[in-house]
Amino acid sequence: MKTNSITPDSCLQKLEALCARGEHCEHELREKMRRWQLPESAADSIIEKLRREDYINDVRFARAYALDKLRYNQWGRGKLRYMMYALQLPEEVIREALEEIDDEEHEAVRQALIEKKNREIKDKDPYTRKAKLQRFLYSRGFSPDI
């Protein structure tokens, strides 16, 4: 079994470089440090230093995450809420990020998904088509109202 011994200083440098390339949340960084088998006390001090130097910021991460996932993954507010909760972001931060999503953009993504999925469904029965569309929308985190 390979042990991954990493010093706190080299860990800090790696995480600073990672955070300089893109937004990351505390949960992601803690998971990395856990895989690197860094002691919890060292991880706490590294996270604190990254926060002080503004490498990580939950509010900034949540805003970027919500917009990226809406635009590129086509996730609705429901799935975004669930996934940000899984990243252990504070409820207040999640709520703020979701409120900042433009309603028109959210609805445009939803309508595009409805149109695309509607073309893909082979079933002719209107009840079955509607049920499949609703399940699809719900799985993407959108309101299933059609």
Average pLDDT score, the chain: 94
| pLDDT, average across residues 7-26 | 95
Domain 1-56 sits in CATH 1.10.10:
yes
12-16 contacts at long range (C-beta below 8 A, 24 or more positions apart): 12/46, 12/49, 12/50, 15/46, 15/50, 15/55, 16/50, 16/53, 16/55
pTM, two decimals, is 0.88
Q: How far apart are CA 48 and CA 61, in angstroms?
A: 16
| Residue 1 pLDDT greater than 50, yes or no | no
Contact 11, 73 (CB under 8 A): no
